[in-house]
Amino acid sequence: MDKHTAERGAVMGPEPGTAEPIVGRDAELARLFRAVDPVSADPVLTLVGDAGTGKSALLEYVARRTEARGARVLRAEGSESESNLAFSALHQLLRPVLAEVEGLPGRQRSAMKDAFGEGTATSAPDLMLVGVAVLGLLSGLADHRPVLVVLDDAQWLDRASLDALSFAARRVAGEPVTMLIGARDGDRLPGFDRHVPVLTLEPLDDAAADQLLDLQPKSPAGRVRSRILDQAGGNPLALVELARTASAQGTAAGAPSAGPLPLTDHLERIFAARLDDLPASTTRALLLLAAMDSADSAPADSSGPPRAEDAAWLPAERAGLVRRTGRDIRFRHPLARSAVYHAASSGARREAHLALARMLRDEPDRSAWHLAAACPQPDAAVSAELERTAGRARRRGGHAAAAQALQRAAELAPRREDSARLLVEAAAAAVFTGDIAWVEELVAAARTRTDDAALLALAAVQVGRLAVLTVRHSVVFSRLADGAEELAATQPAAGLDLAAGAAVVRFYSGEDTQHHRVQDILRRLPSSTSHAGLRTWVRAVSDPFDDRAQLVSLLPRLAAEAEGRPERLTSVGIMAWLLDETPRAVRAFDEAFDRWGVQGALPEGLGGAAAWAYVERGRWEQAREACARTTAVGRVAGLDHAVACAATVDATVLAFLGDVSSARARAEDALTLIDPLESRSVAVYAHRALGAAAAAAGDYETAYGRLRMVFTAEGAPVHYHASYPALADLAAAAVRCGRHEEAVAIVERSADALADNASPRLRALISRARGLLADPGKAEPHFRAALVDPVLEYWPFERAQTLLGLAEWLRRRRRVAEARGPLTEALETFRRLGARPWIERARVESRAAGLDVTDTAPDAVAGLSPQQQQIVRLAARGLTNREIGEKLFLSPRTVGSHLYRSFPKLGITARSQLRDLIDGTLATAHTGE
């Protein structure tokens, strides 16, 4: 009886429709069937439980029944020995449909082939493109019939596969695609451990356990039965296997005795007992299979396990250790494999791994791991082979696999200095998994192996690089600052790297004491022309208003030096954004993204800067695309802070577009992911977004309350950079809910704090705030000051708000004719941006000013949801559903569904009409009717 059959005894018959009844798992089985129902609200479900509780049996039963009803079922089973081979589980899952890969768009097809080591690329594939390709492949298969993806023993799936599959799992809502995942209870599944429903298999109750024993061929009785029930603790596999052992031995003494060993150890001993009377040829075959444990078929080779039809397997089948599935031989349960492997002597295990390494000589990565498993002591040649394996894994984007290979290579390196180097390289690769505990473990191990100052400095930088992106800002800042101070004299370049990371953490936290420490570190670090750009970065990030003019003057040279280097251009863009040089920031980001494409395994520090720059520049669709990418990467890597940053930008745009409920949901999500006292920047952005959403809904009391939280009780900014742009919105809400006096004090305090270091943009926002709050007879100069500088056209939404404020003031002063010009310009801008609440407000004011304003096509587009607007505009540019999906991280089916629902709202019937509609919308917006 195999793992599936043994567990089925407590769950269901071996095939749907057989006479053997379901025992003890009715509710769980019903929940799984609800999940695979096409109308299910939860297309992804994780099934967790201890070994032997029935996970595999339940998944197998549901898969067979679903397949019998016409669905396509794709399966992958985690393998402990292949958990370090990048994309091995994804290849296993998609092997039956690999021909469909050829039908994917070119970039997705190339990314998938690169991931499987079949492409020609020399650099790592774009991991997000791999995820989009998986999503597109599943969606395409679902065009013909429903698709069920079953991932069993998911705790052993390789990290690269988990990342791609979790990416797709978050986007299958609305698709006829279901994903069922089986995993050991307590094991963390990156990407699946948040917002994924979990069904836990508890032990069987006493009645079900008794019923299961009654169903066994030789049901135990009396004292033996009592001891089995007590020993098994409701575990179905334990009940079946202990009953089988007692039956085979035929005496009460055959029942397992009580003892301190965990249940799984007892079961392993039970499986191992079955090896005693097996022929030597069978024992060798089992050991080779246990050492290989591959989900892929092994090549025919005399060094490896015999073919499935070989007679050596028959005694193992009779002993209940293996099962034959077509041309494959598999262990019936992981415990059987474990028992076989550990029952063998160390010499026999070593010979088995060496034999498998010879067998897999054409698969160098798998061969290298077997050679490593056969090494009882350090071996330079095997260490070097694993280092080459890591290089191949990195080129396929398998950062976790690369780090694992380098870590094992370090263990096998005979020389301590080589071991330390490999551990630091492993840490550098592990950075891209987002697992900071692992990175710190690798760096700590490296420190025990070397005194090389340069290498230890590099190790510290690797930890700092990832730590910056976590939510532990206070702890991380102290570590980075301490490291920077320690390295200032001996390794100044590394010290400056750590100071740069500390400056980013200072931005996230907004803690003033951290600013003083960063300044002190800069004074300790020697000046160097080769590091001038990084010093400028530290200054700009930690305090962009300290000698702003001098920092701005350095940007042209830094931009010239960064030309053609995407990572440097991104840094220049971030600095420009911080300094309110938004036009230069957008140019830098555009060039960086054009050259870099969408590469980059982790969000960079201050990765939200690009999205904010696009928001300010009025390119809201691009801002949302940047948020989608940061969210996708951050969730895969488990970087909640990066996800929260993106959520606040997205929430702000949604509020501007008038999707109030979605904006609130996104902002609240951001607040749940961070500690507001640790991440003041994110908290401020979230409250600004919630304030914008309330204002869009006309709830100015709530809007003021949210925006008031952006400043302290005394009226100082909560965050030294993120709070100031809220001044004008605070003033606008204040005049509508009677908080005039308090708002004046806050605005003037901020104006005094900024003084001559305020940017033209902030001066304009302060002027608008003053105009809104001023006595009626004194407001005009402030509004005019907020519009006088031509550079302010680069912030179109903010300028349009000022124009509307001026027009409202003019009309109230009965200067109606003068109000019409700014009103018309403001309405044009709001329409172009799709800012629905502001369109309506400008319309009302325009009609009051005597302008003839009627509903037109722009309002039809504005009536769509923000995501539908994005999709419609991209479709109007001629992009296909697949291309749009690739850009927005959606499946082609989801894109098509949005278009289908959008056409009636737009009054069109064909995709070909979209371009004329959108062009007409823009033309009307520019002419202003």
Compute the average pLDDT of residues 168-186.
Answer: 88
117 backbone φψ class: left, alpha, beta (φ>0; ψ -120 to 50): left
How far is it, in rounded angstroms, from Cα 383 to Cα 410? 7
Secondary structure of residue 322 in the 3-state scheme: strand
How far is it, in rounded angstroms, from Cα 635 to Cα 627? 12
Instruction: Please write the tens of the pLDDT for every residue from 363-419.
Output: 899 899 999 999 989 999 999 999 999 998 888 878 889 999 999 999 999 999 999
Judged against a pLDDT cut of 50, whether residue 929 lies above it is answered with no
- CA 321-325-331 angle, to 5 degrees, is 25
pLDDT-derived band of residue 17, with 50, 70 and 90 as boundaries?
A: very low
Secondary structure of residue 756 in the 3-state scheme: helix
Q: Count Cα neighbours of 148 within 13 Å in the Cβ-side half-sphere.
A: 28
How far is it, in rounded angstroms, from Cα 909 to Cα 525? 65
Tokens for 423, please give them.
């551990």
- Minimum mean pLDDT range among 460-464, 555-559, 712-716, 735-739: 460-464
Quick one: how many helices (H) and strands (E) in the chain? 46, 7
Give phi and psi for 415, each to the nearest 5. Answer: -95, 135
Mean pLDDT in the chain?
Answer: 85
How far is it, in rounded angstroms, from Cα 499 to Cα 481? 6
Q: What is the DSSP string of 528-570?
A: -GGGHHHHHHHHHHH-TTSSHHHHHHHHHHHHHHHTT-HHHHH
How far is it, in rounded angstroms, from Cα 587 to Cα 576? 10
Task: Identify whether the C-beta of residue 759 lies closer than 8 Å to the C-beta of residue 548.
Answer: yes
Instruction: Please write the tens of the pLDDT for every residue from 225-268.
Output: 877 887 778 888 888 888 877 776 654 444 444 332 455 677 77
552 bridge partner residues: none
pTM assigned to the model: 0.76
Instruction: Please write the tens of the pLDDT for every residue from 776-797.
Output: 889 999 999 999 999 999 999 9
How far is it, in rounded angstroms, from Cα 49 to Cα 182? 8
Residue 324's H or E segment, with its range, is strand 322-325
Give phi and psi for 562, each to the nearest 5. Answer: -90, -5
How far is it, in rounded angstroms, from Cα 735 to Cα 845? 17
Q: How many CB atoms lie within 10 A of CB 122?
A: 7
pLDDT-derived band of residue 449, with 50, 70 and 90 as boundaries?
A: very high
Residue 198's H or E segment, with its range, is strand 198-200
Compute the average pLDDT of residues 96-114.
Answer: 88
pLDDT-derived band of residue 120, with 50, 70 and 90 as boundaries?
A: low
Q: What is the DSSP string of 55-95?
A: HHHHHHHHHHHHHHTT-EEEEEE--GGGTTSTTHHHHHHHG
Compute the average pLDDT of residues 827-834.
Answer: 92
Closest-CA residue to 128 (of 485, 397, 364, 309): 397
Which amino acid is it at 165? L
- CA 809-811-812 angle, to 5 degrees, is 65
Tokens for 658, please give them.
């008038």
pLDDT-derived band of residue 5, with 50, 70 and 90 as boundaries?
A: very low
Alpha-carbon distances, residue 671 vs 201, 626, 644 (angstroms)? 33, 20, 7
- Minimum mean pLDDT range among 193-202, 344-353, 505-514, 686-695: 193-202
How far is it, in rounded angstroms, from Cα 531 to Cα 615? 31
Q: Count Cα neighbours of 731 within 13 Å in the Cβ-side half-sphere.
A: 24
Give phi and psi for 75, each to the nearest 5. Answer: -125, 145
Cα torsion angle, 714, 718, 723, 729, sign:
negative
Question: Quick one: what percent of the chain has pLDDT higher than 70?
Answer: 90
